[in-house]
């Protein structure tokens, strides 16, 4: 869109960098894992020495970045690249803007706090996940109350410790919210949509061995966003794994704000987050 074209142009000019925007295929034309494969193929193609040379790119100064669903793909691609033993050129950085990273718990404090918050209320985010997985909207309520990750759902048990927000979030984010953990749930949801626990779709569930391999990381989060805690938990897990992480949190901003910098939606939140993001890239690339 013109809004993303504008952002990429400003990034290229501000950073004196080549910016490649991957036009991965969208729902409903294709569903997971095709978007992931599109992004991974494009990235691996670009990382070839002859392609980098064609665009005069310094192979030691490459970052992978994305916002929202693009942040999901950027994180998943970085994880996949880190495990590819045949790769000779690797990204120096990853920069994730209010990324969507998990479909395990739709009752994190930020999901509870911002459940009706524009531009991304909780029910819309759940429907986006169902669209991505080509699932059935009839499952939305069960997902909303975490029936898919109840204590009796064996497939989810091994992942629970990787997404324990009571230990991963600071008290200022936890506030007085309580975990929503069902004792008895519906294992058939995972059987019907196994991608709910596939790390290529939900990078926050990756194991520590994978997280240790990730590049220096920037994560931007907004207070008025159901996805706030996805980013904060990923930052903490990466930090615990020994990765250098910058968590850039904005108390007065909302999901998607960075692209709103052009009239008539030229918001201060957009300019503020964009400038902070570009400043970090400029200092670290």
Selecting among 2, 14, 60, 68, the annotated active-site residue is 68
Beta carbons within 8 Å of 71's beta carbon, 6+ residues apart: 65, 96, 97, 98, 99, 100, 101, 231
What's the pLDDT score for residue 1? 80
Q: Where exactly are the structural domains of the chain? A: 2-6+61-283
CB 222 within 8 A of CB 98: yes
In order of 116, 145, 168, 228, 247, the CA distances from 174 in angstroms are: 18, 18, 10, 11, 17
Report CA 147 to chain centroid distance, whole Å.
23
Q: What's the pLDDT at 151?
A: 97
Ranges of the chain whose pLDDT falls below 50: none
Among 3.20.10.10, 3.30.420.40, 3.40.640.10, 3.40.50.1820, name the CATH number for the domain at 2-6+61-283.
Answer: 3.40.50.1820
Here the tokens at position 210 are 């994978």
Predicted local distance difference test score (pLDDT) of residue 169? 98
Cα separation, 265 vs 81, in Å, equals: 36
**How far are the Cα atoms of 92, 105, 111, 271 from residue 120, in angstroms, in the given order?**
31, 16, 10, 20
Q: For residue 151, how many other CB atoms are within 10 A of its CB?
A: 13
Note the pLDDT of residue 102: 98
Pick from 126, 238, 273, 244: which is nearest to 189 by CA? Answer: 126
Calpha distance 133→135 (Å, rounded):
5
In the annotation, is 158 catalytic? no
pLDDT (0 to 100) of residue 99:
98
Q: d(Cα 157, Cα 114) in Å, to the nearest integer?
A: 27
pLDDT score for 260: 93
Torsion 91-97-100-105 (CA) sign: positive
> Which pLDDT score, from 0 to 100, does residue 250 have?
98
């Amino acid at each position: 869109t013109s809004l993303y074209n504008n952002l990429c142009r400003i990034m290229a000019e501000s950073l004196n960098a080549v910016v490649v925007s991957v036009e991965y295929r969208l729902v409903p034309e294709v569903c997971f894992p095709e978007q992931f494969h599109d992004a991974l193929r494009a990235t691996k193609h670009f990382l070839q020495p002859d392609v980098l040379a064609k665009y005069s790119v310094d192979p030691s100064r490459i970052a992978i970045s994305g916002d929202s669903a693009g942040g999901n793909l950027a994180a998943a691609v970085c994880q996949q690249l880190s495990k590819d033993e045949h790769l000779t050129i690797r990204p120096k950085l990853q920069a994730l803007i209010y990324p969507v990273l998990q479909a395990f718990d739709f009752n994190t404090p930020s999901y509870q706090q911002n459940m009706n918050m524009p531009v991304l209320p909780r029910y819309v985010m759940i429907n986006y996940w169902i669209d991505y997985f080509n699932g059935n909207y009839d499952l939305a309520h069960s997902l909303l109350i975490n029936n898919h990750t109840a204590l009796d759902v064996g497939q989810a048990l091994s992942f629970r410790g990787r997404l324990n927000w009571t230990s991963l979030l600071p008290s200022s984010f936890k506030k007085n919210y309580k975990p929503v953990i069902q004792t008895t749930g519906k294992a058939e949801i995972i059987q019907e949509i196994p991608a709910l626990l596939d790390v290529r779709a939900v990078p926050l569930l990756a194991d520590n061995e994978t997280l240790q391999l990730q590049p220096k990381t920037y994560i931007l989060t907004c207070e008025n966003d159901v996805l706030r805690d996805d980013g904060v938990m990923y930052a903490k897990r990466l930090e615990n794994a020994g990765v250098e992480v910058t968590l850039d949190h904005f108390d007065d901003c909302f999901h998607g704000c960075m692209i709103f910098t052009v009239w008539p939606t030229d918001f201060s939140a957009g300019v503020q987050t964009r400038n902070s993001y570009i400043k970090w890239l400029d200092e670290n690339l």
